[in-house]
Amino acid sequence: MVQMMRQFLYQALPEDSYKAATGKLHVSLTRFTDGESVVVSEFTSKEELIEALYCSCFVPVYCGLIPPTYRGVRYIDGGFTGMQPCSFWTDCITISTFSGQQDICPRDCPAIFHDFRMFNYSFQFSLENIARMTHALFPPDLMVLHNYYYRGYDDAVLYLRRLRELETGAGT
């Protein structure tokens, strides 16, 4: 599955995509040799951008036994050392597929969950998040994926509306 994502990125991204991503996209990696958290945001080519993204979603054993390389160093998924590596930046928008305290994320029923923190990341323990985790490892049918896509879009629109209200003072 990760290999399919890699092939898709090669086809979908324009040759100069790394220029648009440099300095704006921060990719969280975990160095395989020592478990150190590394965040990269400078890319010199489309290939290098895709390699960083590929490393950032490589889960050992599940995706394979030998981690991929970025700039000659082996890395695995950055979530092993920090799910939200930019939480200390004030001008960073945090996004998650899991319900929690991020700027853009699903909003589950507040009466059912408990918050907990792990890997510098806020999670809500809910049945919906358990289903999302299962679907992250074992992809569901296309209709469920479409639903996640549209809910993510709605979550982003909701965030932008809240942000606009804060900036304009609307709703107060």
Element containing residue 78 per DSSP (H, E): none
Per-residue model confidence as pLDDT tens digits over 92-124: 788 888 888 888 999 887 655 566 665 566 677
Residue 37 exposure: Cα atoms within 13 Å on the Cβ side: 14
Helix (H) or strand (E) holding 128: helix 127-137
The candidate with the shortest Cα–Cα distance to 123, out of 131, 115, 112, is 115
**pLDDT of 120-160, one tens digit each?**
666 777 888 889 989 988 889 999 999 999 999 999 999 99
pLDDT digit string, tens, across residues 21-58: 999 998 989 999 999 989 999 999 999 999 999 999 89
H-helix or E-strand spanning residue 40 = strand 37-40
Hey, what long-range contacts does 154-159 have (CB within 8 A, 24 or more apart)?
155/104, 155/105, 155/106, 155/107, 156/95, 156/104, 159/93, 159/103, 159/104
Domain borders along the chain are 1-80, 86-171
The reported pTM is 0.68
